[in-house]
Amino acid sequence: MKNARLNLRITPEDLEKIHHKAQRANKTLTDYVTATCLGKEIVIITDLAEVLKELKAVGRNLNQIAVLAHSGRINAVNLSGVQEEMVAINSHLKEILERRRWSA
Same domain, 39 and 67: no
38 by DSSP, 3-state: which?
coil
47: left (phi over 0), alpha (psi -120 to 50) or beta: left
Same domain, 34 and 72: no
Same domain, 22 and 55: no
Q: What pLDDT digit, counting tens, does each position of 67-100 carry?
A: 999 999 988 888 888 888 889 888 888 887 777 6
Structural domain boundaries, residue 28: 9-43
Q: What pLDDT digit, counting tens, does each position of 9-36 carry?
A: 999 999 999 999 999 888 999 999 999 9
Same domain, 22 and 56: no
**In the chain, how many domains are there?**
2
